[in-house]
Amino acid sequence: MKTVSYVAEVQEAALVVIEQGQIRTCRLNTEAKRTVGRRTPTAAPDISLISPIAGRHQGELACLAGEWFWINGESRNGTYYNGRKIEPDGDGNTRPIKLDNGDVLRIDTPDFRSPNGVWMLFTTDGVGEEWTFYSMKDKDEVVIGRDPSQSRIAIQRPYISAVHARITCRDGRYYLDDCHSAAGTWLNGRRISGQELLQEKDRISLCDINFIYSGDNLIFNPRKPKTAEEQKRVILSADIESKTVPDQSGSGAKELIRNVKLEICEGELVALLGGSGAGKSTLMNCLNGMELQGVKGRVTFCGEDLYANFERLKFLIGNVPQKNVLHEMLTVEEEIWEAAVTRLPADMSSQEIRRRVDETISLLRLDSVRRSRIHKISGGEMQRVNIAIDLAADKTLFYLDEPDAGLDPEMKRELFTILQNLAHNQRKTIIVIIHDVSEIELFDRVVMMVKYEDVGRIAFTGTPQEAAEYFGAAMKDVYGILTRNPEKYIRG
């Protein structure tokens, strides 16, 4: 069985360490292990901690075959990995823990309330350099929001409300409130409704922006949109063991897809290919968080577990419907305006919405039909209006299931060219199920699925050029090759 596949190249990694109100970014070198522990006169770990509750040999970070691992050491307080204490297995051994972008290691007391706690974020995301401080010292109130004139911390992303969340200081304590934001304010993974007292190392999340509260500081990654020249980061990864549905008898389970491992970078246009029934729509519904029933595995989006944080992250995901769900009697611009008004925060000004609608119309090349009623426009234009609706709301990850169905070759090319442009110039990540591969060279990645023993599997992931080399054939002939010899190509 061939195993050539696309897995994003080993990315540089870093550990962002927060302790005692200070932040440090420790770059990790794939060549060498890094020991982590408390500095003492006799021991100088590579990553030295000052906290008195850290052990001298808290653990080690090591890169093995391109993957990073935490190897737990000996310590009185132990280490928590994403909120769970690392314990030995039944045989008394503690296995190394594979680290993914966004994973958090903590040294703390079991209630996570020690002022001496250490919070360590493993990141491959800009190598941790984008993390920054905001000191709340001597401030009665700190507003986080989109509007710089009303917010001390301004995050200018459309899914953030103009005034989104407020931290108030009283008697040396800090309290968090949500300001009726559209997307909500989350504290340690829970959406808040009333005022909450902040405790050391609490995590405040507004969609994909995380703030760590420590001392008098907020420490956060503003996630500034990156330009194409900047290093690509993996934005979506999946490790799905299986997705099952109840079988016809109702007593057993039918497996629809198995062993799907994928990594997709920000700003990529990805084609999901495969014969009918290969499991493409099933996989898409696992990746977009729509189908959680019967999924064994994990999908990570923006470095976070998508399923566990779906209610917060869904604001960034656009599922473009295949069917026409538009209001036939509205004009194109009215339709996009309506969608923008209902999906963008209520406090966004009409001028700002107008600007977004105009920009969206131009990006989707809908200027010539902006005043036409929906029922008069072509299938290709209709499909573009469907995309415009999510684009106007500034989604960052788009899923399209066969958007080219019923389009003539010219319309298809135009649609995929527009999608490529959105991916490359607007940094959108776009995953598209297609059947026809005639425009495949416009895509950055292809993910090829095949049905084997009645279960959908991954046969290949890589660039279109790599696919052609791998299968030794033009892309248009690959389906035939795969259907005849699925066992030769399946992975996992």
Ligand X SMILES: Nc1ncnc2c1ncn2[C@@H]1O[C@H](COP(=O)(O)OP(=O)(O)OP(=O)(O)O)[C@@H](O)[C@H]1O
207 binds, among Mg ion, ligand X, none (CB under 5 to 8 A by kind): none
CA distance 9 to 232: 10
Q: CB 274 → Mg ion: shortest distance, Å?
A: 9
Evaluate whether 374 touches 385 at the Cβ level (below 8 Å). yes
* Range in contact with Mg ion (rule: CB under 5 A) among 38-46, 60-68, 277-285, 474-482: 277-285
Q: CB 281 → Mg ion: shortest distance, Å?
A: 3
For Mg ion, which is the closer residue by CB, 20 or 322? 322
Give 332's contacts (C-beta < 8 A, 6+ positions apart): 361, 366, 369, 370, 371, 372, 374, 377, 381, 385, 388
- The residues that touch ligand X, with contacts defined as CB under 6 A, are 245, 254, 256, 274, 276-282, 456
For ligand X, which is the closer residue by CB, 253 or 308? 253
Q: CB 451 → ligand X: shortest distance, Å?
A: 7
CB atoms near residue 293 (< 10 Å):
8
CA distance 259 to 289: 17
Residues 116-135 close enough to bind Mg ion by CB under 5 A: none
For Mg ion, which is the closer residue by CB, 180 or 435? 435
CA distance 1 to 102: 33
Q: CB 450 → ligand X: shortest distance, Å?
A: 10
Beta strand ranges found along 29-109 (DSSP E): 34-38, 47-49, 57-64, 67-74, 80-81, 84-85, 97-99, 104-107
Q: CB 322 → Mg ion: shortest distance, Å?
A: 9
For ligand X, which is the closer residue by CB, 210 or 281? 281
464 binds, among Mg ion, ligand X, none (CB under 5 to 8 A by kind): none
For Mg ion, which is the closer residue by CB, 55 or 456? 456
Q: Is 309 in the site for Mg ion (CB under 5 A)?
A: no
254 binds, among ligand X, Mg ion, none (CB under 5 to 8 A by kind): ligand X
How far from each other are the two terminal CA atoms of the chain, in whole angstroms?
10
CA distance 391 to 360: 7
Q: CB 289 → ligand X: shortest distance, Å?
A: 16
Q: CB 308 → ligand X: shortest distance, Å?
A: 24
CA distance 293 to 304: 19
Q: CB 283 → ligand X: shortest distance, Å?
A: 7
CA distance 343 to 394: 9
> Of the candidates 11, 114, 281, 309, which one interacts with Mg ion according to CB under 5 A?
281
Q: CB 492 → ligand X: shortest distance, Å?
A: 17
CA distance 260 to 293: 16
145 binds, among ligand X, Mg ion, none (CB under 5 to 8 A by kind): none
CA distance 492 to 478: 20
491 binds, among ligand X, Mg ion, none (CB under 5 to 8 A by kind): none
Give 138's contacts (C-beta < 8 A, 6+ positions apart): none
- Give the number of residues written for the chain: 492
181 binds, among ligand X, Mg ion, none (CB under 5 to 8 A by kind): none
5 binds, among ligand X, Mg ion, none (CB under 5 to 8 A by kind): none
For ligand X, which is the closer residue by CB, 188 or 322? 322
For Mg ion, which is the closer residue by CB, 281 or 300? 281
243 binds, among Mg ion, ligand X, none (CB under 5 to 8 A by kind): none
Evaluate whether 484 touches 252 at the Cβ level (below 8 Å). no
83 binds, among Mg ion, ligand X, none (CB under 5 to 8 A by kind): none
CA distance 312 to 366: 31
Residue ranges that bind Mg ion, judged by CB under 5 A: 281
